[in-house]
A and B are shown apart, each in its own frame.
Chain A
Amino acid sequence: DTGVSQDPRHKITKRGQNVTFRCDPISEHNRLYWYRQTLGQGPEFLTYFQNEAQLEKSRLLSDRFSAERPKGSFSTLEIQRTEQGDSAMYLCASSSPRTVSTDTQYFGPGTRLTVL
């Protein structure tokens, strides 16, 4: 395993359905991040884990969004009752900083969500 992996790569769903995305970080990376990116914008931070602890979730877009990292390895991001405005690329990144100031994040390929 040489990089961050995400599954699925593409998801098409109907409005109102629930979707779940999975992220597998680089082995032994203790930090895991979720971002959303829409066309023409930089990534928008959603939430962040250090090991299994979710240390920041106030930036999740609404209470329809939730994330877990139960054993400190892979993570899931769930969106309930999807809306057309949720259509975006959902990116996962991981890092393993020696110091906070050298926290370099490496991204997975992303999951492209389309809500019809």
Chain B
Amino acid sequence: QKEVEQNSGPLSVPEGAIASLNCTYSDRGSQSFFWYRQYSGKSPELIMSIYSNGDKEDGRFTAQLNKASQYVSLLIRDSQPSDSATYLCAVSMDSNYQLIWGAGTKLIIKP
């Protein structure tokens, strides 16, 4: 059973601080990793994709991948109330269309 695990939260972070979201996955063959943001009642919105070990930065967002530890994280710097949402981690294998999803972490940014 291929699994993606996330802490369901809620994770509460003060405005302006760094929010750290974590995700572990069970399949060592996984090659592609995605973070999606989902507001209540809305559909998932792509935040970041990462394919290689290390860090990838895009504005206030940094994705970190460690394939040896089967761990991917998302850091949000200078957190804003508008960042309050559920963050979904999704993983896929190379040559495989199918995304395996975590259940998401609810993030709350407190003003």
- Shortest beta-carbon distance, B74 to chain A, in Å? 15
Contact B43 A110 (CB under 8 A): yes
**Which of B51, B98, B102, B103 is the most central at the interface, judged by chain A CB atoms within 10 Å of its CB?**
B98
Contact A42 B43 (CB under 8 A): no
- Shortest beta-carbon distance, A51 to chain B, in Å? 13
- Shortest beta-carbon distance, B102 to chain A, in Å? 6
A48 to B92, CA, bound (A): 14
A42 to B4, CA, bound (A): 10
Contact A101 B90 (CB under 8 A): no
Contact B98 A101 (CB under 8 A): no
Q: Number of contact residues on B: which range applies?
A: 20 to 34
Contact A40 B103 (CB under 8 A): yes
Contacts of B36 in A (CB 8 A): 107
- Shortest beta-carbon distance, A44 to chain B, in Å? 8
B81-103 Cβ-contact flags toward A at 8 Å (1 or 0): 00000001010101111110111
Contacts of B17 in A (CB 8 A): none
Q: Which of B64-90 contact A (CB under 8 A)?
A: 88, 90
Contact A103 B44 (CB under 8 A): no
Q: How many residues of A contact B (CB 8 A)?
A: 25
Residues of chain B touching chain A, judged by Cβ–Cβ distance below 8 Å, are: 4, 8, 31-32, 34, 36, 41-46, 49, 51, 88, 90, 92, 94-99, 101-104
Contacts of B4 in A (CB 8 A): 42
A89 to B36, CA, bound (A): 16
For the complex, is A18 an interface residue (Cβ under 8 Å from B)? Answer: no
Contact A100 B95 (CB under 8 A): yes
**Which of B88, B94, B97, B103 is the most central at the interface, judged by chain A CB atoms within 10 Å of its CB?**
B97
A112 to B4, CA, bound (A): 25
Contacts of A108 in B (CB 8 A): 43
Contacts of B96 in A (CB 8 A): 100
Contact B32 A42 (CB under 8 A): no
